[in-house]
Amino acid sequence: MKTIVRLLIFFLSVSGICVFLGEVSRYVPPQEQRSCACDRCLFENDTLAIEGLRKFPQPLLSRNYSLPEEDYNWWKRLQPEGRNISDYRKNMERVFQLIPDNPPLEASSPGRCRTCAVVGNSRNLLKSHYGLFIDFQDYVIRINRGHSKGFESDVGNRTTHHVMYLESASQIDNTTHPVLFTFKIRDLEWITRVLSTQPSGKKSLFNKDLAMVVNPAFMRNIHQVWLQKKGAYPSTGFMALVLALHICDEVHVFGFGADSDGNWSHYWEKVPNKKIKTGGHPGNVEYEMIEELARHQVLKFYTGW
Ligand SMILES: *[C@@H]1O[C@H](CO)[C@@H](O)[C@H](O)[C@H]1NC(C)=O
Ligand SMILES: *[C@@H]1O[C@H](CO)[C@@H](O)[C@H](O)[C@H]1NC(C)=O
Ligand SMILES: *[C@@H]1O[C@H](CO)[C@@H](O)[C@H](O)[C@H]1NC(C)=O
Ligand SMILES: *[C@@H]1O[C@H](CO)[C@@H](O)[C@H](O)[C@H]1NC(C)=O
Ligand SMILES: *[C@@H]1O[C@H](CO)[C@@H](O)[C@H](O)[C@H]1NC(C)=O
Ligand SMILES: *[C@@H]1O[C@H](CO)[C@@H](O)[C@H](O)[C@H]1NC(C)=O
């Protein structure tokens, strides 16, 4: 179905170009080139529909990037360990000897509508039957311990990107991009260790050729600008959602917030776990922000069952 739609769009564009070539002498360039082929494009004119939210220039790290000291100083306080910025730089250099120099990303283009499904882990996904619609999106982003097996009809079965950090890491498929969040230098050492001691023959934790690392300066930007410094720092899920807004043109959000009983719990838990809270993360602030982004049609928010 999707292929047919794409072919149709392609055919229409081609005929458009032919008509356009016929009138080339009278052509006046448009005021603004659209950045994507969706109904709406995110960050048009570099701004979201919400005041003050601008596109962050480099959400993912590349080898050459030099983290500003003030961003490092914010990052080092998240999980203090008494290290310094030269330790950080040395360890990040080691990481980039093992993973691609530049994050493997598809650039935006006027002929393309990149769609993302961000799948949180809330129990409100159960009985939602979102699975097919989630799998239909170009990119399916799962978070931490989120997984499909046994829940395909509600959460889908594709995963193109899996967002994780040290303590949440589990083995992922080798066709899935690992998107790594770091909170301390020990996390960088962990990445290096995992990748340089991959057991030969055995299945590795993740495919290093597809790996990307989130920029600590981007995490700080999310905390300070998107969440106005509420809470200690943002949850991985919320940061994954903002990342999706940067790598896609259209974003669909599932599995965030409490279930219909008001319990914050994961969809794979047999019994709702009353003890789960949102930790140091500003859960309600994040939830309200997602609702506000949805009201401004920045993203589409599916609240489940
Ligand atoms: C972008 O700028 C153009 C020209 O200034 C304006 O017509 C258009 O509405 C703007 N788009 C958004 C989404 O603000
Ligand atoms: C990194 O910087 C070096 C030297 O400034 C440059 O030659 C190289 O092309 C850069 N690499 C990337 C991926 O930007
Ligand atoms: C950073 O810490 C290392 C030890 O981990 C030390 O050798 C180095 O001198 C320190 N550098 C700075 C600039 O403080
Ligand atoms: C995912 O689900 C689709 C449709 O239900 C099915 O055709 C496909 O084989 C499944 N893929 C995997 C990897 O399980
Ligand atoms: C991915 O896994 C499949 C089988 O599980 C294997 O044949 C293939 O070589 C792996 N690819 C990479 C890049 O590790
Ligand atoms: C949450 O889950 C518990 C345990 O199953 C259940 O007893 C309770 O009714 C649920 N709702 C609330 C608001 O706690």
pLDDT tens digit string along 187-201?
999 999 988 887 665
Ligand 1 centre to CA of 46 (Å) is 10
Instruction: Assess whether 296 carries a catalytic annotation.
Output: no
**Tokens matching residue 229:** 């410094």
Least confident of 27-31, 32-36, 38-42, 203-207: 27-31
More confident call, 272 vs 139: 139
Under the banding of pLDDT at 50, 70 and 90, the label for residue 120 is very high
The whole-number average pLDDT for the span 174-203 is 88
CATH of residue 297 = 3.90.1480.20
Place of tokens 């458009």: 16
In DSSP notation, 174-225 reads TTSEEEE--SSHHHHHHHHHHHHTPPSSSPPSS-GGG-EEB-HHHHHHIIII
Whether 9 shows a pLDDT value over 70: the answer reads no
Give backbone dihedrals phi and psi of 175, rounded to 5 degrees, phi first.
-100, 0
Q: Which residue has the higher pLDDT, 228 or 271?
A: 228
User: What would the mean pLDDT of 264-275 be, rounded to a whole number?
Assistant: 78
Q: What percentage of residues in the chain have a pLDDT greater than 90?
A: 64
pTM of full prediction above 0.95: no
Predicted confidence at residue 31, as pLDDT, reads 47
pLDDT band at 25 (very low <50, low <70, confident <90, very high): very low
What is residue 28's predicted lDDT score, i.e. its pLDDT? 44
Cα separation, 283 vs 289, in Å, equals 10
**φ, ψ of residue 61 in degrees (nearest 5):** -80, 150
Among 216, 249, 278, which residue's Cα sits nearest to residue 65? 216
| Residue 89 belongs to some domain of the structure | no
Catalytic residue among 233, 266, 267, 302: 233
- Rounded to whole angstroms, what are the CA distances from 108 to 41, 180, 241, 248? 10, 22, 18, 8
At residue 46, does pLDDT exceed 80?
no
Residue 61 lies in a domain: no
pLDDT for the residue 7: 53
Q: Look up the domain containing 174 and give its range.
A: 115-183+209-302
Residue 78 has pLDDT above 90, yes or no: yes
Q: Lowest-confidence range among 11-15, 82-86, 90-94? A: 11-15
**Domain assignment of residue 161, yes or no:** yes
Q: Which ligand is nearest to the CA of 61?
A: 2
Residue 281 annotated in active site:
yes
Ligand 6 atom at minimal distance to the Cα of residue 262: 13
Q: What is the pLDDT of residues 141-159, one digit of tens each?
A: 999 999 999 999 999 999 9
If one counts the domains in the chain, the total is: 1
Q: Residue 179 domain-assigned?
A: yes
Mean pLDDT of 110-118: 95
Residues with CB under 6 Å of ligand 1 are 31-32, 44-45
Any ligand 5 atom below 6 A from CB of 207: yes
> Which helix (H) or strand (E) covers residue 252, if one does?
strand 250-254
Position 263 pLDDT exceeds 80: no
- Asked, for residue 63, whether it belongs to a domain, the answer is no
